[in-house]
Amino acid sequence: MSKILFAASEAHPLIKTGGLADVSGSLPAALKRLRQAVRLVIPAYPQAKQRAGDLKPVGSIRLPGSTQVMTVLEGRMPGSGVIVWLLDYPPAFGREGNPYVGPDGRDWPDNAERFALFCRGVVAIAQDRAGLDWRADVVHCNDWQTGLVPALLSLETVRPATVFTIHNLSYQGIFPAETFVRLGLPHELWHYRGLEFFNHLSFIKGGLVYADRLSTVSPTYAREIQTPEFGYGLDGLLRHRAEALRGILNGIDLQEWDPAHDPHIPCHYDAEHLTAKRGNKRALQEELGLPASDQLLLGSVGRLVEQKGVDLVIACIDRLLELPLQLAVVGSGDPAFEQALQEAAERHPHKMSLRLGYDEGLAHRVEAGADAFLMPSRFEPCGLNQLYSLRYGTPPIVHAVGGLADTVVDASPEALKEKRATGFCFYYASPEVLFHSVERALALYEKPALWEQLARTGMAQVFDWRSSARQYLQLYEEAQAAARQTGAGLAHPPA
């Protein structure tokens, strides 16, 4: 049994902006079921404090250059019972709303300070300096907000092993060089094989350079990020560390995402009772103000940003809506994309519905009520929505990159014949190719027996956290072996 400290900037159901929160909610729970002593640590945002319920102060952390202390509040994750430590420091985290951006939609101006403080708090806990009488064997860090943790730990004489998981390489936590000085970071960390990135401070490099082991959330994305096309300037470093890098697919939380029990949907169903899915379609059409038509209902849920290929949809939306289908979009993001979609919905009120904003329940109802799910991401580290779609018998139409390529089997004639097909893949991100894939889906939708087979094959796929958690345990062991070998000081001294 290892003592694992799982550090992240969001965790469902306490606070969520995207897939990272799903992972931080589920993976520690799966590790707990494998009898590991896992603790989750996140910042004490007001919403997280409120949703965590009973919290008690159990420790405190002195911060360099501040008279105030950071308090460690202990609670239990709703559902899983995993012990969660919320790092309470109101000047940094006591703000309502989104963890990363203010009400104006821009990053909080002090994000570097906020997440550097979070990292210092995580280091203090890992090193048993928070009065918790607990020392980590492994610290599992996630995305740039936790990137300074492996860097700071690398300077300690005795330290736990560190693992850093990339959930999305395009978010790196890059700040002007002065920030490095302002944050009072140790000067040894400032070099191009350290935290410096083209004369800027890069939080994510703290993880990529100094963690004992690296992972990302699908095998294909693990390969893609080592290429200039997907590497965002870090492909060289990632190639250098290829031996330490693994791709481990995310699972889905079957307590939350199971059409047989989902409390958010009106009609429960499983692969043997697929006809009951129709009730969800009717209810969704009614909820969204779409006519009760039998045409293919295409759903889409997610952040409305370029990564998700929203611009590809917008570029062909009028042509798409001339096809015999309806389109239901739920999401929020780039104001220009929101506006373009809004205008399209106004032009085609009987064919398209748009709900701007974040609505967990509606996301479930779209997965259950739609016939097919559109996910044309330009890049996709793992993607969860296509996994939910498969589980809900709603074949996904995807751009075959990253986790989408690893989880969806294209409905080619051979794959259909061999009963392996689960969705529709396209291999080049353009509006024409996307449009053609939707046409392919429509053609198969005309053949109900084949369509049902496609949906059922998808529903039979297993993406459970248990097998992913086992792979992480293996990675923790490798990280511990590497940390023992490296000993004290820099985890990976500059070559």
CA–CA distance, 174 with 151 (Å, rounded to integer): 15
Q: Which of residues 4-33 bind ligand ADP (CB under 6 A)?
A: 18-19, 22
Element (H, E) at 353: strand 352-356
Q: How far is the CB of 18 from ligand ADP (least distance, A)?
A: 3
CA–CA distance, 492 with 484 (Å, rounded to integer): 12
The answer for residues whose C-beta is within 8 angstroms of residue 221's C-beta and 6 or more apart is 166, 230, 247, 379, 380, 381, 382, 401, 402, 403
Q: How far is the CB of 134 from ligand ADP (least distance, A)?
A: 30
Nearer of residues 19 and 75 to ligand ADP, judged by Cβ? 19
Interface residue with ligand ADP among 76, 358, 436, 456 (CB under 6 A) is 358
Q: How far is the CB of 139 from ligand ADP (least distance, A)?
A: 22
Q: Nearest CA to 360 among 263, 251, 260, 459?
A: 263
Site string for ligand ADP, 264-303 (x = CB under 6 A): -------------------------------------xxx
The answer for residues whose C-beta is within 8 angstroms of residue 198's C-beta and 6 or more apart is 233
Q: Which of residues 367-396 bind ligand ADP (CB under 6 A)?
A: 382-385
Q: How far is the CB of 217 from ligand ADP (least distance, A)?
A: 8
Our finding on whether 401 is near ligand ADP (CB under 6 A) is: no
Nearer of residues 3 and 303 to ligand ADP, judged by Cβ? 303
CB 315 within 8 A of CB 341: no
Q: How far is the CB of 23 from ligand ADP (least distance, A)?
A: 8
Q: How far is CA 329 from CA 12, 149, 266, 282, 475, in A?
A: 22, 38, 19, 16, 38
Residue nearest to ligand ADP (CB): 19
Nearer of residues 201 and 459 to ligand ADP, judged by Cβ? 459
Nearer of residues 19 and 59 to ligand ADP, judged by Cβ? 19
The answer to whether the peptide bond before residue 186 is cis (omega within 30 degrees of 0) is no
CA–CA distance, 355 with 371 (Å, rounded to integer): 18
Count of residues binding ligand ADP (CB under 6 A)?
A: 17
Q: How far is the CB of 355 from ligand ADP (least distance, A)?
A: 8
Nearer of residues 201 and 204 to ligand ADP, judged by Cβ? 204
Q: How far is the CB of 408 from ligand ADP (least distance, A)?
A: 13
Q: How far is the CB of 169 from ligand ADP (least distance, A)?
A: 12
Angle at 158 between CA 153 and CA 159, to 5 degrees: 40
CB 459 within 8 A of CB 387: no
Q: Which stretch binds ligand ADP (CB under 6 A): 75-83, 292-300, 352-360, 487-495?
A: 352-360
Q: Nearest CA to 403 among 262, 245, 225?
A: 225
Nearer of residues 246 and 264 to ligand ADP, judged by Cβ? 264
Nearer of residues 26 and 36 to ligand ADP, judged by Cβ? 26
Q: Nearest CA to 231 among 267, 204, 200, 203?
A: 204
Interface residue with ligand ADP among 363, 416, 421, 479 (CB under 6 A) is 363
Q: How far is the CB of 359 from ligand ADP (least distance, A)?
A: 5
Site string for ligand ADP, 325-344 (x = CB under 6 A): -----xxx------------
Helix residue ranges, H only, 53-131? 90-93, 111-126
> For residue 247, what is the DSSP state?
E
Nearer of residues 79 and 131 to ligand ADP, judged by Cβ? 79
Q: How far is the CB of 71 from ligand ADP (least distance, A)?
A: 29
Burial readout 40-64 (b: 16 or more C-beta within 10 A, e: otherwise): bbbbbbeebbeebeebeebbebebe
Q: How far is the CB of 302 from ligand ADP (least distance, A)?
A: 5
Nearer of residues 18 and 279 to ligand ADP, judged by Cβ? 18
Our finding on whether 360 is near ligand ADP (CB under 6 A) is: yes
Our finding on whether 43 is near ligand ADP (CB under 6 A) is: no
Q: Which stretch binds ligand ADP (CB under 6 A): 41-49, 93-101, 133-141, 357-365?
A: 357-365
- Strands, DSSP E only, in 121-239? 138-142, 161-166, 174-176, 196-197, 200-202, 213-216
Give the tokens for residue 347. Answer: 């032009």
Q: Nearest CA to 375 among 433, 300, 314, 432?
A: 300
Per CB under 6 A, residues contacting ligand ADP are 18-19, 22, 301-303, 330-332, 358-360, 363, 382-385
